[in-house]
């Protein structure tokens, strides 16, 4: 257990490595900080790599009525507590939504953005939100995890990866899940995305049916200077499904950003 005391309360955190421009990983609505284990192991060899739990998730304290603004404040509070002025921010799904929020609220704190399997606005967001809360209420998080796992992953899914996804989602506090679901599925940050000036990489799993390719294309339209890369053989969780490819693409992007004067 690793807990960091911040201005917004305790935050669950993993840290690996030191030096360089830090790299902050932000997880999705059905996950926690441990989902970034393949990235922490890879990038902790060259820089400080950080993965955090959202409020109410994992080892983080619950914040009543938290919104996506609160989630962004929590991530920034982690940087404050660690004395980090600027960091690369890599967010998946909900994490990407919050990364956009961070860039809008505190642009000077962001060295670059990596937006994986995420969106500015989801055309089916309200329906997904309603189904998510209804499923959590009727099935519990464990039942919802079992029902949703195959939709999250490219098929046929690796059995160990599937089991990890189900186990992680099963541990989530339902109240925290409801707040995070609102933060991601009800977001409309098209204006914020259009104002992004940071170096940006958009990643998308080729088999992602939760956030279809059209949503990554829309992000690319809103952020025209962004690079867009499809990760073949991955669904909604490419960092877990194809970690070697994900890490290689991310490393190349960071190297390019840091080589520029």
For 68-103, what is each residue's pLDDT tens digit?
Answer: 999 999 999 999 999 999 999 999 999 999 999 999
| Six token digits for residue 117 | 């399997």
* Extents of the domains making up the chain: 3-259
The answer on pLDDT for 133 being more than 70 is yes
pLDDT at 1 over 60: no
- CA 77 from centre of chain: 17
The confidence score (pLDDT) of residue 261 equals 67
3-state secondary structure of 23: strand
Give the integer Cα–Cα distance in Å for 53 and 172.
Answer: 11
Sheet holding 87-92, edge to edge: 3-6, 9-16, 49-52, 23-26, 87-92, 110-116, 200-205, 227-231
Q: Is 80 exceeded by the pLDDT of residue 37?
A: yes
Tell me: pLDDT of 142 over 60: yes
> What's 190's DSSP letter?
H
Q: Which residues lie below 8 Å from residue 167, measured CB to CB, with a gap of 6+?
A: 145
CATH class of 3-259: alpha beta
Q: What distance in Å separates the CA atoms of residue 83 and residue 80, rounded to the nearest whole number?
A: 5
Average pLDDT of the chain is: 97
What percent of the chain is predicted at pLDDT more than 90?
A: 98
What are the φ/ψ torsions at residue 25 (nearest 5 degrees)?
-105, 135
Give the torsion sign (CA, 170, 189, 203, 195).
negative
Measured CA to CA, the distance from residue 225 to residue 15 in angstroms comes to 31
- pTM of this structure: 0.97
**% of the chain residues with pLDDT over 70:** 99
């Amino acid at each position: 257990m690793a807990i960091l005391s911040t201005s917004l309360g305790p935050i669950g955190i993993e840290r690996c490595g030191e030096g360089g421009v830090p790299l902050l990983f932000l997880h999705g609505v059905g996950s926690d900080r441990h989902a970034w284990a393949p990235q922490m192991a890879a990038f902790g060899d060259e820089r400080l790599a950080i993965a955090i739990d959202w409020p109410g998730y994992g080892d983080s304290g619950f914040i009543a009525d938290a919104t996506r603004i609160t989630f962004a404040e929590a991530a920034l509070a982690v940087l404050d507590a660690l004395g980090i002025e600027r960091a690369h921010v890599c967010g998946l799904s909900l994490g990407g939504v919050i990364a956009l929020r961070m860039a809008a609220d505190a642009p000077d704190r962001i060295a670059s953005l990596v937006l994986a399997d995420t969106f500015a606005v989801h055309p089916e967001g309200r329906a997904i939100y309603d189904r998510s809360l209804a499923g959590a209420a009727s099935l519990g998080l464990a039942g919802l995890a079992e029902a949703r796992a195959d939709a999250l992953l490219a098929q046929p899914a690796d059995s160990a990866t599937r089991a990890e996804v189900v186990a992680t989602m099963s541990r989530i506090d339902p109240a925290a899940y409801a707040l995070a679901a609102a933060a991601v599925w009800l977001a409309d940050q098209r204006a914020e995305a259009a104002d992004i000036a940071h170096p940006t990489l958009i990643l998308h799993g080729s088999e992602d049916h939760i956030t279809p390719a059209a949503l990554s294309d829309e992000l690319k339209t809103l952020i025209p200077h962004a690079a867009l890369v499809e990760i073949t053989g991955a669904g909604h969780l490419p960092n877990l499904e194809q970690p070697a490819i994900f890490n290689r693409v991310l490393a190349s992007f960071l190297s390019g950003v840091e080589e520029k004067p």
